Structure 1
């Protein structure tokens, strides 16, 4: 079995587990990302399995249908429905197995971005490295209002940290109610109130048809001139063009971001160069602990599949047959056809 590991940016695919304990398995990691579907299909010809790190590469039906050798898709993390066509995988008999993931790691990056924005850390560290000293005044968080868009698995711990820091915490989402926010000492507000009154806004919604474009020009226009907004969730939650305009014209205080509509972010993308942006390269889930889970459980999933008893399956049922068995199966089919003739 040939296994392709996609988007191995850190070059760890051959280090975190011992693939040699799976006889007959050849693992080939790719450290670069392929955007073009035709190039992706060309790259994966002849591979029996694909391991994907989170949702870095999309697999719509149009791609899966052009990969006749693909029998096993090794996903990492549970959010796969929008970036991997599970219905197509099921139709094509491609088994999809997945792994667990730690979620609090993204909460940590959320607060790292907030701290950098509010305390002006990029400019201060840049000055120090250049031989300078203090260059500006940061802003404290105590007494400020933290607006959380989506009070779920991510939003709740973000709220708790804000409360520890002395912030007033408010929240909104389409289905959020005061009864649901009260146990967390969070005030449920309207969407407009959140954007108009918050000093720090952070997005923690899943990507769906109803959440796409949650933050557009209108919402950004409601923000206070010095307020900042952070997105470590999904890029489609905000309108990147509207956000860029607001940042370029300094109509808001700044933005922190870990997710982008095109990843890796193009070299000439303006978010790389705006002074009021703090940007990280989608590292919310990128920790030693998460990758240990991804690779260990993927190794277990692959072993179970090869043993004929797949585990952690979310779609598909296509068995793997070594080349010799494929030849035997084809020969048997030919014999059956000749007898019927």
Structure 2
């Protein structure tokens, strides 16, 4: 049995799980470089029976799956992966399994980005290194409005920190009720009110047909000129054209992004030089504990499948 582990950017996958002990006789190959070209990807994976995919870094649409006749098991880290064609996988006899996840990493990074934007940490670091000192006055968050778009598990974690900072936490999603909002530590408001009043608006929704571009020209245009927008969920939740127009027009005051339309972010992408932005290379889930869970579960998935009793199937 040959196992391919894709997109091991940090080259740590081999150290974080017992691949040889749990999978005796198997040959495991770790790919540290992203294989963006489909022909290159297919050529690299043709000899493998099992592929472990890291989140949505590498897509497996029908066109790729049908060109991998040897592939029998595809493991994705996490239990949801929009870049996998599950119907095609079933058609071609490829079992798809997932892993558990550790949700706090993304919530923690969300607050790192909020504080980094509001307190302009990167700018101050650069100023001190260049010989500068105290060139501006920072805004306060206590007493301001935190707007949480999507009050699920992650949104509720972010809301709890906002409350601890003394912020007025409000939330909106298409089906959010006042009762559910209260359980998540927030006050339910309309979408219009959230974007018009929030000092910080943070997005925590699943990307689907009905949520794509849910933050567009109207929402960005309604934001206060001193407000901030953070997206650590999926890039497509914010309309790209609207975001670019808003930044070029001078509002909001700052935008923090941990997710992008194409990853890794290509050379020359407009966001690399966009004003008032704080960019992070999709680091929300890239934590030690999360990776240990991902890869340990991936090995367990492979061992269980090999024994004829697959677990965590999608």
Shorter chain as normaliser: what TM range?
Answer: over 0.9
Structure 1 residue aligned with 2:256 = 256
Name the stretch that deviates more: 108-117 or 41-50. 41-50
Gaps of 5+ in 2: none
Structure 1 partner of 2:41: 40
Q: What's the CA shift for 1:183?
A: 3.2
Tell me, in whole angstroms, the C-alpha distance in 2 between the residues paired with 1:99 and 1:137. 45
Show the counterpart of 1:284: 284
Deviation at 1:196, TM superposition (A): 0.9
Q: Distance in 2 between matches of 1:18 and 1:162?
A: 39
8 Å CA contact 2:142, 2:165 repeated in 1: yes
Deviation of 1:275 after TM superposition, in Å, equals 4.0
Q: Distance in 1 between matches of 2:183 and 2:313?
A: 35
Aligned equivalent of 2:107: 107
Distance 2:311 2:176 in 1: 35
1:204-243 equivalence runs, <5 A: 204-243=204-243
Q: Distance in 1 between matches of 2:184 and 2:83?
A: 32
Shift of the 188–9 alpha-carbon distance from structure 1 to 2, 3 Å rule, reads same
| Aligned residue in 2 for 1:304 | 304
Kept in 1, the 8 Å contact 2:18–2:296? The answer is: no
**SS of match in other structure, 1:313:** coil
CA offsets per residue over residues 3-44 of structure 1, 9 Å max, x none?
A: 111111101122222322222211111112122322222221
State the distance in 1 between where 2:71 and 2:288 align. 29
Pairing 1:72-83 to 2, within 5 Å after superposition? 72-80=73-81, 82-83=82-83
Tell me the CA shift for residue 238 of structure 1. 0.5
Aligned to 1:318: none
Distance (Å, rounded) in 1 between the aligned partners of 2:24 and 2:158: 45
Partner of 1:91 in structure 2?
A: 91
Structure 1 unpaired stretches of 5+: 315-341
Distance, in Å, in 2 between the alignment partners of 1:14 and 1:289 is 15
Kept in 1, the 8 Å contact 2:163–2:169? The answer is: yes
Rg (Cα) greater in structure? 1
Q: TM-score, normalised by structure 1?
A: 0.88
RMSD: 1.4
Q: Residue 58 of structure 1: CA displacement?
A: 1.1
Cα distance in 2, alignment partners of residues 186 and 75 from structure 1: 33
Residues 31-70 of structure 1 correspond to what in structure 2 (within 5 A)? 31-70=32-71
In the alignment, structure 1 residue 6 sits paired with structure 2 residue 44: no
* SS of residue in 1 equivalent to 2:43: helix
Provide the C-alpha distance between the structure 1 equivalents of 2:74 and 2:18, rounded to a whole number of angstroms.
19
Query: CA offset at residue 305 of structure 1?
Result: 1.9
Q: How many residues align?
A: 313
Label 1:102 to 1:12 Cα distance change in 2 as closer, same or farther (>3 A): same
* Equivalent in the alignment of 2:127: 127
Extract structure 1 runs of 4+ deviating beyond 3 A: none
TM-score, scaled to structure 2: 0.96
